[in-house]
Structure 1
């Protein structure tokens, strides 16, 4: 049954992918319809990401407190309702204030769906944690590839308002139904797995203990670094293409921007289970360093060759491929370090790093407006990825090893004391 729960979680994640990865196709139509500044519209995206991440621990705590059977169903079901309500509101709004409220509703709803889905993966699959988390994250990363072109066609034919309304109701409705068949394991139902490429904690740490652990904050900082560049590109991919005047250039009969959006979302989704599987084989720290190094190359290539239509498509795909892996690697690393009992809440605490990084999205637009291009932003993203490689290799890996060694020593001392 665990594969059924995982499959339903993936479906729910696919349903919320457009909230983030399809957002960019709505920006220009809203700007044209209401004469709003792009920076003002992107505030709604920032609110969405902030609440999707920062409110996630609240959703996760509610889920864990209600229990493994009804917690996931109630929290995820409510998330589906909020997601639908947010896009329906966006369909009828004529003010930025209402747009921001819509962003808040969808953000809180998406956070509820995300935390339950990730919790399903890390709790049911201790033996394949990287792969399971990657598959769930792939739904969020690649899901938009299925609908991004239909949404663009619908906007062109009927307007962005109709697209918000139709797809909002479909996405929210599917989540509401699917969520009612998901549950998390009861205590002792799934046995912890020791050994493997990545050492796993046999003890479960509470959220208070996790927040008091310095290794968590090293992991958090690293997560913020990696989220920042990816969020900037995902929120502004249309603007980056337009800055090179290549959006409508045809490649194999498809506009460059449309092809890039689909290819990027596919690569984003492929990366998550792939890197998760690699992590199960060689360990999480090594996999992180490989992914982050490739990310530095990807951003630099987009900086160098982004003005060439075919290169723009390929480089964008590589950026999304390297960015997507963090959403399978970081939750798995968090659960390996801090145990499974409170995994939904603890992984959600770490996920707030994405909300912290989202604060940089409007800043990137401001920098671009001042400098006149996206070059400086892409170069900063390149440097950030290089820094992240060194943080993992020189700080996070030794810190994680020491944390786990201290845990073993503490358990041994407790056993000796009892004996």
Structure 2
């Protein structure tokens, strides 16, 4: 669709912005800019709980709204990106994300927090996330795993730059000042990076093979009728649940385990763990994406998902040791973050490039399912049982089951589908 590239002008092919590597770099910056609303939420729960006087379960609904709207609107957001172009939509998305924090700074009740942090943040981050991922599978048709892994790493590792500054700001200035200042930073940085974003031009930047690939693909309507899509959706939901439980509840269970404020290498365990998590959560995405480009998607899934199950089991068994809490949290995220490179790459490999952005929007809705189970439902289970052990048992089971499904179900099912329905 030419609308998406209407801003391109004749003779512009020599512009640095037409380089796939420049587009990759800009996509990473956009992703880094919008990562904090999800990945530093654990730092904000305690001060917001104290200010609003609500239960943890009520507060975690905010996080679920953020992820649900980030994901459940993804097909529509992907359609808008394809229709109106990535620069416009990513600009809107980054502005909404920054605005969500600025407005959240002055809420007086949890309902307003739902509307600002949850609704605006979810819509803003969703537009940027789905737009950037959809763009990269088109710019890098031969190295999708690596390219998507790199921009997904930007989302996973972006909060590394803000975790300690936000933690320090919360202690020194309170959450209202923190949300205001960092909200403006999120919006400004993301908006500036979005101005250079553009879709690849098949007539000037792609080879004949890549052009053929771009013109082929299964429509969302057809994709949704295939069993292989729903197996991927189930697996994505399972893996999202375990990771989002940790992201949303880590501040709470670290406190219950008694390690949150204990010192490791001279630093408090919780913010240190969150910082290490950002590194491993970011590195795993291009690494496992690159590995999957070489050994296959399902084999890589089996290894990575199994790693998370083992790491999470060891984590909960050594939960009272602050050093092991920090180290194993990093391994848990190393086994989790790669889902954001493996699933979009696998989906585009299976159903083609033509409708890649919108198609991934439908699969990305699984992240919303995971946020509900890993957020308020996990908090509810903890509240009823007064223990985090049942919650961890469920998450470990989901990880292990996803690893087995990748090898024994998805692998043969997808091979059979591609044999009958080859995609260029």
- Out of 7, 30, 51, the residue aligned to residue 12 of structure 1 is 30
Displacement of 1:201 after TM fit?
9.9
Could you tell me how far apart the structure 1 residues matched to 2:354 and 2:202 are? 8
Which residue number in structure 2 is paired with residue 87 of structure 1?
Answer: 101
Contact 1:267-1:318 at 8 Å conserved across structures: yes
Q: Relative to structure 1, is the Cα distance of residues 319 and 192 closer, same or farther in structure 2, using a 3 angstrom cutoff?
A: farther
TM-score by length of 1: 0.93
Displacement of 1:74 after TM fit?
0.9
Could you tell me how far apart the structure 1 residues matched to 2:68 and 2:113 are? 15
Q: State whether structure 2 residue 407 is matched by structure 1 residue 399.
A: no
Could you tell me how far apart the structure 2 residues matched to 1:394 and 1:142 are? 32
Could you tell me how far apart the structure 1 residues matched to 2:376 and 2:140 are? 38
Which residue number in structure 2 is paired with residue 147 of structure 1?
Answer: 162
- Out of 113, 117, 121, the residue aligned to residue 136 of structure 2 is 121
- Out of 44, 60, 69, the residue aligned to residue 42 of structure 1 is 60
Displacement of 1:86 after TM fit?
0.9
Q: Which structure 2 residues correspond to residues 316-331 of structure 1 after superposition, within 5 A?
A: 316-331=329-344
Which residue number in structure 2 is paired with residue 214 of structure 1?
Answer: 227
Q: Deviations over 1:208-228 (max 9, x none)?
A: 111122211111111111111
Q: Deviations over 1:239-281 (max 9, x none)?
A: 1110111111111110111111101111100110110011111
Which residue number in structure 2 is paired with residue 172 of structure 1?
Answer: 187
Contact 1:299-1:379 at 8 Å conserved across structures: no
Which residue number in structure 2 is paired with residue 288 of structure 1?
Answer: 301
Which residue number in structure 2 is paired with residue 197 of structure 1?
Answer: none
Q: Which structure 2 residues correspond to residues 44-63 of structure 1 after superposition, within 5 A?
A: 44-63=62-81
- Out of 133, 153, 162, the residue aligned to residue 177 of structure 2 is 162
Q: Relative to structure 1, is the Cα distance of residues 134 and 240 closer, same or farther in structure 2, using a 3 angstrom cutoff?
A: same
Could you tell me how far apart the structure 2 residues matched to 1:308 and 1:52 are? 35
Could you tell me how far apart the structure 2 residues matched to 1:207 and 1:88 are? 36
Could you tell me how far apart the structure 1 residues matched to 2:113 and 2:354 are? 38
| More displaced 10-residue stretch of structure 1: 205-214 or 353-362 | 205-214
Contact 1:118-1:136 at 8 Å conserved across structures: yes
| More displaced 10-residue stretch of structure 1: 97-106 or 366-375 | 366-375
Displacement of 1:193 after TM fit?
6.2
Runs of 4+ in 1 over 6 A off after TM superposition: none
Displacement of 1:202 after TM fit?
8.1
Could you tell me how far apart the structure 1 residues matched to 2:26 and 2:47 are? 33
Which residue number in structure 2 is paired with residue 379 of structure 1?
Answer: 393
RMSD: 1.6
Q: State whether structure 2 residue 253 is matched by structure 1 residue 237.
A: no
Q: Relative to structure 1, is the Cα distance of residues 278 and 246 closer, same or farther in structure 2, using a 3 angstrom cutoff?
A: same
Q: Deviations over 1:286-342 (max 9, x none)?
A: 000000110110110111011110010011111111110100000000110111121
> Structure 1: any 5+ residue segments left out of the alignment?
195-199, 412-419
Which residue number in structure 2 is paired with residue 190 of structure 1?
Answer: 206
Contact 2:77-2:130 at 8 Å conserved across structures: yes
Could you tell me how far apart the structure 2 residues matched to 1:154 and 1:173 are? 19
Q: Deviations over 1:51-107 (max 9, x none)?
A: 0011111111011122xxxx1011101101111221111101011111000110010
Which residue number in structure 2 is paired with residue 130 of structure 1?
Answer: 145
Contact 2:215-2:354 at 8 Å conserved across structures: no
Q: State whether structure 2 residue 330 is matched by structure 1 residue 312.
A: no
Contact 2:138-2:214 at 8 Å conserved across structures: no
Contact 2:52-2:110 at 8 Å conserved across structures: no
Q: Relative to structure 1, is the Cα distance of residues 324 and 192 closer, same or farther in structure 2, using a 3 angstrom cutoff?
A: farther
Displacement of 1:169 after TM fit?
1.0
Q: State whether structure 2 residue 365 is matched by structure 1 residue 352.
A: yes
Could you tell me how far apart the structure 1 residues matched to 2:79 and 2:357 are? 8
Secondary structure at the residue paired with 1:36? coil
TM-score by length of 2: 0.92
Contact 1:86-1:106 at 8 Å conserved across structures: yes
Could you tell me how far apart the structure 2 residues matched to 1:83 and 1:390 are? 37
Q: Deviations over 1:18-60 (max 9, x none)?
A: 1101011111001112212111111110000000011111111
| More displaced 10-residue stretch of structure 1: 120-129 or 323-332 | 120-129
